[in-house]
Structures are given as C-alpha cells and as structure tokens.
C-alpha cells in the first residue's frame, strides 16, 4: 500500500485542518524561515515537523459590557508553540489586525528567541483583535480580566507566563496578575512579567527590549566597521522599543534623522532632539506634528539616507515593494517579523546586514526571565545588576550566532534559527515522545 492509498489525515505529515500550507501571513513567513534552516539541522531534522505546528491553540470569545450598556464580543487567542525547553513565554498583543496566523507566528518566534538567548522557556503568545484606543480605561480593564479568565486554562507561573507586547503595558499585567490570583486564591506574581515594579516587576524591564536592540546593534556595528558616533538612524515605531533604542543610540552619539509611527512620518537631517520627541509622543500619542522636524510622505521613510534602520512596529513592514529603496547598512529588528523572506533576500543581495528579531529584540524576554526568577526567590536585584546581566547575555548570544553565520556563510537570521532549533529539537529528542 503506498502513501497515496491513505486518506489525507493518515499521511505522516498531513497538516491539521487549521494550518494552511500556503499561508501568506506571518505564519507563512515563519514556515519559510524554518525551511531555510532545515538543511543545517543534521539528524535533528527528523524532528523538524514539531516546529511547523503549534503545540496548543486556544481561541476564546471575550464578551464585555461597554460603558454605554451594550455587550461587545472580541476574539482572543493564546498559542503555545513549543514547550520542550520549559513553560510557555511570550507577550499579549491588543490590536485591531490580530489574527490567528499572526499569533501563531509570534508564538513560534518566541520559541526561537527564548532558545537563542538560552532562557529556560518554550514559546507562546496571545492577543485580542481589538483597537484599544477605542476603549475607555474601564472597558480595557474588563476586557483584560475576562481574557485572562478565559485563558486561565493554560497560563500559570510554571505553565505559561504572558508579558506586555504591542498596546499592552505594566497596567495590563497588573490586571492579569490580579485576575489570575483572584481565580486561584493566592497572589501569584510569577504568572506574568512586565508588571509594575511595586507588584513584583523588575527594574529595567520597560527599557529592556530597546537596550537589547542597542547592545546587539553596537556589537554588530563594531564587526562591520560602522561608527555609532555620527551614524544616521531611521526608526519605525517610537514606543517602548523604538523610543528606548533611539534614545540609547542618540546618547552614544548617533543622530535620529527619521521616525515613523501610526500618526505620521517625520524627518530632520540634523537629527531630532530625542528627549523632546519622547515627551511629544508621551503627551500627543505619536510623532505626528512634532515641531522639531518636517513631515514626510509615509512611503519616503524607507528611502531615507541613513546608516541604521530600526523597524520597531509591526510585521511585514519591510517587503518586496520597499526593500530595494533601503539605504541603511544595517537593519536591527526591534519588532517581531518586520521583514518578509523576499525582502530578506533583497537586503542580502544589496549587502545590508539584517540583525533579526529573534536575537535583536530578545532583551525584553531576557529581563522578563530575570523578573520571574526574582518573583520566585522574592529577592530583587538592582537596576545596574539587571542591565549588566542583560548586556552580557545579549553580547554572548550575539557572538555565538555571528560565529555560526560566518562558519556556515548564512544570514544572521538563519544562524540564529540554527542555534535555536538545535536547542529546541535536542530537548525534544531527549524528552522523547510520551506515551
């Protein structure tokens, strides 16, 4: 009997019905990245299918009462991509464009990222399809609490630990921690990270992702002979990640010449006053209308004359339509999944060095790990200690993937996937299949 005689669902690699092999969204991007790494996995390639299907997907209905008395329903997700190396770990995103494909990809990138910096976690991610800017604070709190209750089946300090992501923050985490604690009957600070410092949060967590972006950027710049002093930066997204990275680069002597976010695109060839821009973003909600720069067409942002480009917003921003216009020598991915595989190839052919999300933005989850350890031991570290440990982990992890990239003549993304997939699949193999 040949495989052709089997019904489709009995074929060894038949996909579950909810996985579309032709996914053109973020999950499709992730699958292409896995395909690129498979030839480098040696005997572990036997397990590679594990990476191509999430371990668990939970889709939840999140009904809340709105301030006007009506009832609104939102769709929420929690995906645990892989738990071979430890509990699930990854943020929760509130955005109107959240889809299952996106949350699956984000959960998978967390598996890769956590393995790349060798924190003892698997990968997970959550999200709600909602525009949080349209909700009042009370509505947001009810949404967060109901979502937390709905995903309560999966989360827990030793099971799966959410954290902030796009449009969620320390307040969101405080509500999540409180809801989980109320439901379980004891205060469980370790169920989420990125909490307020007074509730078991860690010093340095807010800036950690941006600090990691900066650290990896500085290391790579040394390797390609790009001086930071005087370097021109373009940053997309000037929130927690882009804003912190922009500030650290500016403090080190770089000039932030262009910034784009959902409120506009601004340009100043002499470099913007970064603290003033951060204050403008805080008070106005975005970079649009910043008086210390001229505004520019959104499309032209990609063609700005710069040395370093930091996409720190959403997926798929650098794609086949704009990649050829990029002038930068180095792209540092503060966002998750900002570059499509086609764009990766275009940038590679142009000689642009891409520092991928799965290493460049791993500073956030690294300090999340420190927070979780501090919560378990109820012993809190100083900010200097946290930053020093963060920088050391980022430098060492980056040096390791850089070496793999040189040895195998592959991109830093593929090198990071090689290191991470080997760790994940080795753990998978050692644990074996149960039952």
Write out the residues near ligand GLU by the rule CB under 6 A.
89-91, 163, 165, 193, 336, 361, 364-365, 368
| Closer to ligand GLU by Cβ: residue 201 or 280 | 201
d(CA 179, CA 143): 11
Compute the least distance from the CB of residue 208 to ligand GLU, in Å: 8
d(CA 116, CA 70): 46
Strands (E), 18-129: 56-65, 71-82, 88-89, 92-95, 123-129
Handedness of CA 34, 39, 42, 48 (dihedral sign): positive
Q: Any idea which residues carry the catalytic annotation?
A: 125
| Closer to ligand GLU by Cβ: residue 211 or 329 | 211
Compute the least distance from the CB of residue 388 to ligand GLU, in Å: 19
d(CA 228, CA 307): 9
Show the tokens assigned to 407. Answer: 């040895």
| Closer to ligand GLU by Cβ: residue 163 or 221 | 163
Would you say 272 and 256 are in contact if contact means Cβ atoms under 8 Å apart? yes
* Number of other residues whose CB lies within 10 A of the CB of residue 70: 8
Compute the least distance from the CB of residue 16 to ligand GLU, in Å: 25
Compute the least distance from the CB of residue 167 to ligand GLU, in Å: 11
Compute the least distance from the CB of residue 193 to ligand GLU, in Å: 5
Show the tokens assigned to 331. Answer: 């792209």
| Closer to ligand GLU by Cβ: residue 89 or 195 | 89
Would you say 78 and 151 are in contact if contact means Cβ atoms under 8 Å apart? yes
Q: Give the residue at shortest CB distance from ligand GLU.
A: 91
* Number of other residues whose CB lies within 10 A of the CB of residue 22: 6
Compute the least distance from the CB of residue 234 to ligand GLU, in Å: 21
Bridge-based pairing of strands 88-89 and 160-161 is parallel
| Closer to ligand GLU by Cβ: residue 194 or 268 | 194
Instruction: Give burial (CB, 10 Å; 0-12/13-18/19+) of 422.
Output: middle
| Closer to ligand GLU by Cβ: residue 209 or 265 | 209
Would you say 123 and 105 are in contact if contact means Cβ atoms under 8 Å apart? no
d(CA 190, CA 92): 16
């Amino acid at each position: 009997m040949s495989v052709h005689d089997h019904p489709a669902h009995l074929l060894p690699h038949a996909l579950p019905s909810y996985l579309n092999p032709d996914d053109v969204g973020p999950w499709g991007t992730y699958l292409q990245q896995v395909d690129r790494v498979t030839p480098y996995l040696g005997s572990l390639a036997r397990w590679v299918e594990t990476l191509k299907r999430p371990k668990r997907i939970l889709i939840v209905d999140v009904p809340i009462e709105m301030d006007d008395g009506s009832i609104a329903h939102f769709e929420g997700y929690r995906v645990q991509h892989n738990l071979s190396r430890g509990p699930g770990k990854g943020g929760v995103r509130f955005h109107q464009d959240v889809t299952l494909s996106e949350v699956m990809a984000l959960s998978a990138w967390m598996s890769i990222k956590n393995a790349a910096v060798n924190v003892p976690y698997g990968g997970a991610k959550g999200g709600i399809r909602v525009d949080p800017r349209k909700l009042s604070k009370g509505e947001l709190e009810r949404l967060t609490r109901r979502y937390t209750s709905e995903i309560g089946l999966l989360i827990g300090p030793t099971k799966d630990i959410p954290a902030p992501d796009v449009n969620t923050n320390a307040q969101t985490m405080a509500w999540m921690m409180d809801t989980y604690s109320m439901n379980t009957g004891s205060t469980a600070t370790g169920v989420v990270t990125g909490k307020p410092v007074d509730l078991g949060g860690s010093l340095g967590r807010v800036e950690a992702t941006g600090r990691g972006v900066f650290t990896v950027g500085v290391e790579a710049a040394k390797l390609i002979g790009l001086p930071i002093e005087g370097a021109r930066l373009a940053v997309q997204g000037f929130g927690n990640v882009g804003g912190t990275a922009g500030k650290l680069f500016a403090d080190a002597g770089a000039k932030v010449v262009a910034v784009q976010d959902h409120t506009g695109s601004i340009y100043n060839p002499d470099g913007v006053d970064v603290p003033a821009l951060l204050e403008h973003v805080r008070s106005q909600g975005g970079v649009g209308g910043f008086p210390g720069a001229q505004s520019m067409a959104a499309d032209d942002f990609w063609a700005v004359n710069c040395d370093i480009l930091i996409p720190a917003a959403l997926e798929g921003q650098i794609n086949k339509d704009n990649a050829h216009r990029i002038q930068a020598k180095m792209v540092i991915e503060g966002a998750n999944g900002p570059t499509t595989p086609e764009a990766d190839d275009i940038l590679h052919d142009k000689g642009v060095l891409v520092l991928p999300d799965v290493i460049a933005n791993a500073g956030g989850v690294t300090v999340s790990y420190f927070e979780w350890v501090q919560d378990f031991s109820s012993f809190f570290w100083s900010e200097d200690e946290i930053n020093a440990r963060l920088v050391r982990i980022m430098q060492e992890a980056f040096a390791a993937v850089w070496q793999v990239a040189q040895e195998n003549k592959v991109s830093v993304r593929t090198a990071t996937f090689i290191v991470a997939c080997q760790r994940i699949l080795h753990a998978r193999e050692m644990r074996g299949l149960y039952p």
